[in-house]
């Protein structure tokens, strides 16, 4: 099967090539993400392979359908960037990688918390300049703190376990509570209001849906404890950026760690170091001393990249052979 791989980075090609070498698939790589503008590149291909920031909207889907594309293979877990209604109308299958390395994202979340708390990034830069002062590097003990986990899927569960290991109390919120986790003593489910009001750290691990979009907004951010920490390693749209900026400026929100951003499509996974970045909200965020923004790298381990490539190729092979698509995304 001939596959057009959009939004390709060097590591995508490296790992996909390893996993596809014994398959019948011919992968052709394009630097540009899929959109209505780049859809014509899919001419002559049976499948397209896309990532989180490809704009797989209705127009793009209709365009690739006219070119004969029969399947969209997401090399990620999230699918909020795909118009599933239009894909169904065009009889195009959509498959994803539901779990690649939940440990990678959970561990990175802890890294953001520790970095923001103990200010190791600032200490590192100080020492390089010969400054060994400890002024303004004060942190807090994680032991005994309450951590709110929004979303208790695989990543949320692993993250909760890691924070439990630090001696934290875990409150959780999920549309489908896992009572087994509560029975085992890992966490306690609570309402969103109670979770926000009691947590010293709130970490988001839920998918982006119409129900969760801007789950942190002008109302909910002010329900958080004064000086609390907010972490997002899930999807940028979970946070209303302007709302958290206002809470930061008023001194209500104590720390913010983000590996995702709601307007990241034109920014992340690119080297813009010689470019004037016009996103005023992001530029304002990075000026705050208590904010840490990274470029969607929580998943980025060799284990995760291998699994992403393997499942992506397996999904394409199953489709080619007419087998059941275990990882199909349906409405």
Q: Give residue-wise pLDDT tens across range 41-74.
A: 999 999 999 998 899 999 999 999 999 999 999 9
178-192 pLDDT, tens digit per residue, is 999 999 999 999 999
> Cβ contacts of residue 48 below 8 Å, gap of 6+?
3, 4, 5, 6, 34, 42, 64, 69, 71, 72, 73
| Catalytic-residue membership of 75 | no
19 falls within a domain: yes
The number of folded domains in the chain is 2
Q: What percent of the chain has pLDDT over 90?
A: 96
Which residues, listed in sequence order, are joined to residue 28 by a DSSP beta bridge?
4
Rounded to 5 degrees, what angle do the CA atoms 284, 288, 290 make? 145
Which pLDDT score, from 0 to 100, does residue 193 have?
98
Give me the catalytic one of 75, 96, 205, 235: 235
Give me the catalytic one of 264, 265, 320, 326: 264
- Are 123 and 158 in the same domain? yes
- Are 33 and 150 in the same domain? no
Mean pLDDT score, 286-305: 97
- Are 268 and 170 in the same domain? yes
- Are 214 and 250 in the same domain? yes
- Are 94 and 107 in the same domain? no
- Are 233 and 218 in the same domain? yes
- Are 279 and 312 in the same domain? no
- Are 205 and 221 in the same domain? yes
- Are 124 and 139 in the same domain? yes
Helix (H) or strand (E) segment spanning residue 232 = strand 229-232
Give me the catalytic one of 296, 320, 323, 328: 296
- Are 285 and 151 in the same domain? yes
CATH number, position 215: 3.40.50.720
- Are 132 and 193 in the same domain? yes
- The tokens describing 29, both together, are 């790589």
327 falls within a domain: no
Average pLDDT along the chain: 96
Q: What is the pTM of this model?
A: 0.91
- Are 155 and 217 in the same domain? yes
| Catalytic-residue membership of 235 | yes
pLDDT at 100 exceeding the cut of 90: no
Answer whether 241's CB lies under 8 Å from 279's CB.
no
| Catalytic-residue membership of 264 | yes
Question: Which range marks the domain in which residue 254 is found?
Answer: 102-293
């Amino acid at each position: 099967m001939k596959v057009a791989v959009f939004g390709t980075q060097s590591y995508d090609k490296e790992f996909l090539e390893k996993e596809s070498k014994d398959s019948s698939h011919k992968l052709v790589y394009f630097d540009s993400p899929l959109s209505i503008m780049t859809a014509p590149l899919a001419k002559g291909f049976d499948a397209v392979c896309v990532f989180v920031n490809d704009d797989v909207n209705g127009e793009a889907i209709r365009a690739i359908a006219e070119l004969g594309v029969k399947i969209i293979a997401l090399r990620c877990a999230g699918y909020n960037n795909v118009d599933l209604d239009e894909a169904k109308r065009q009889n195009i299958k959509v498959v994803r990688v539901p779990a690649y390395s939940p440990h990678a994202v959970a561990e990175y979340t802890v890294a953001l918390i520790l970095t923001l708390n103990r200010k190791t990034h600032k200490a590192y830069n100080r020492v390089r300049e010969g400054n060994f002062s400890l002024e303004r590097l004060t942190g807090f003990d994680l032991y005994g703190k309450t951590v709110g986990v929004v979303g208790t899927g695989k990543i949320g569960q692993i993250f909760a376990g890691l924070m439990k290991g630090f001696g934290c109390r875990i409150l959780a919120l999920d549309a489908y509570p896992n009572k087994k986790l509560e029975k085992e003593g890992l966490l306690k489910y609570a309402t969103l209001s109670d979770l926000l009001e009691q947590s010293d750290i709130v970490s988001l691990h839920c998918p982006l849906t119409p129900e969760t979009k801007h789950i942190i907004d002008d109302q909910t951010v002010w329900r958080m404890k004064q000086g609390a920490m907010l972490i997002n390693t899930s999807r940028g749209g979970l946070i209303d950026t302007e709302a958290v900026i206002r809470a930061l400026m008023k001194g209500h929100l104590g720390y913010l760690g983000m590996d995702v951003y709601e307007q990241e499509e034109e920014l992340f996974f690119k080297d813009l170091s010689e470019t004037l970045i016009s996103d005023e909200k992001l530029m304002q965020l990075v000026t705050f001393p208590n904010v840490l923004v990274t470029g969607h790298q929580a998943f980025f381990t060799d284990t995760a990249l291998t699994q992403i490539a393997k499942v992506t190729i397996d999904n394409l092979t199953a489709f080619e052979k007419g087998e059941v698509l275990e990882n199909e995304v349906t409405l």
